[in-house]
Every structure is written in C-alpha cells, then in structure tokens.
C-alpha cells in the first residue's frame, strides 16, 4: 500500500485550494459585489472544467449518465451555487479565517447526513472527530 493513498493527496490538495479561495476572494471582493464575483468565479471554473473534460475525452461518457445521476448532480450544483453565494458574501462582510472556519462545519454536517442517508459509520471516534471540528470552528470564529 502506498504511503499516502490518492484520495488523501487529493483531499489535502482540495484543502489547500479551498484556503486559496478564501484568501483570494477576500482580496478580490474589496471592489466587487459578492454575487457578481461568485458568477465570475463560476464562469472561470466552467471554462477550466470544460477544457479539462475535452482534453481528457470525458464528454464521451455523457451517454452513460442516468436520469437519476443527472438529477442528483443538478441538485448538488444548486447546493454548491447556494454555498458559494453565501460564502462569498460572508467573506466580503466578515474576516476570512472565521468565515472559513464556519464553512468547514460542512464536515460535521456531512458526517451527520452521511450517517442518516448513506448508512456511514457514526461510531464514537467519528462523532468525537466531528465534535472536535465543531469546537475548533467555534474557537477560530470567536
């Protein structure tokens, strides 16, 4: 087994990029409305993702996507858009560190929702970890 599995490396990279989102957004939002900034960010993301999908021939997989998958992906997109609008507005009016800390409470919500709807383990270790994340978010956001 490799020292670090690919999902761990990708998860850590995701965290680094998320940190850059908060810092860069705080700087960029000094002169731009939060909703407009979220829209512009989304356009940049669409262009980058379409280019990546085209370059890796991922569009050839479209025919295999079921109606149910389309629906849940669409709902995920709507949830993501709502999250980004709220996040960018919060970053615009608040400080980056506390807003990012509160945003990371999504981990606690994922643990609860994954336990309820996906049947994932809600054992004492996972609940303790979620509790520590909640406590950490509270401490940073104070």
pTM for the model? 0.84
| pLDDT at 4 > cutoff 90 | no
Is 90 in the same domain as 23?
yes
The reply to whether 73 and 121 lie within a common domain is: no
Q: Total domain count for the chain?
A: 2
Beta-carbon contacts of residue 141 (< 8 Å; ≥ 6 apart): 98, 99, 101, 102
Query: If you write DSSP's letter for every residue of 3-58 in order, what string do you get?
Result: SS-HHHHHHHHHHHHHHHHHHHHHHHTTSS-HHHHHHHHHHHHHHHHHHHHHHTTG
Residue 41 lies in a domain: yes
Residues 3 and 72 reside in one and the same domain = yes
Are 127 and 68 found together in one domain? no
- The tens digit of pLDDT for each residue in 97-119 reads 999 999 999 999 999 999 999 99
Given 94, 117, 133, the domain boundary residue is 94
Question: How confident is the prediction for the chain on average, in pLDDT?
Answer: 94
Q: Note whether 90 and 99 are within 8 A (CB).
A: yes
Q: Are residues 26 and 81 in the same domain?
A: yes
């Amino acid at each position: 087994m490799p020292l670090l599995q690919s999902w761990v490396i990708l998860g850590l990279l995701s965290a680094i990029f998320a940190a850059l989102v908060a810092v860069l957004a705080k700087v960029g939002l000094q002169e731009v409305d939060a909703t407009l900034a979220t829209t512009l960010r989304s356009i940049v993301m669409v262009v980058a993702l379409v280019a990546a999908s085209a370059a890796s021939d991922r569009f050839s997989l479209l025919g295999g996507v079921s109606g149910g998958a389309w629906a849940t992906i669409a709902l995920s997109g709507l949830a993501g858009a709502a999250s980004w609008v709220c996040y960018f507005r919060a970053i615009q009016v608040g400080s980056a560190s506390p807003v990012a800390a509160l945003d990371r409470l999504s981990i606690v919500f994922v643990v609860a929702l994954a336990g309820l709807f996906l049947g994932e383990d809600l054992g004492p270790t996972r609940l303790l970890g979620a509790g520590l994340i909640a406590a950490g978010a509270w401490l940073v956001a104070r």
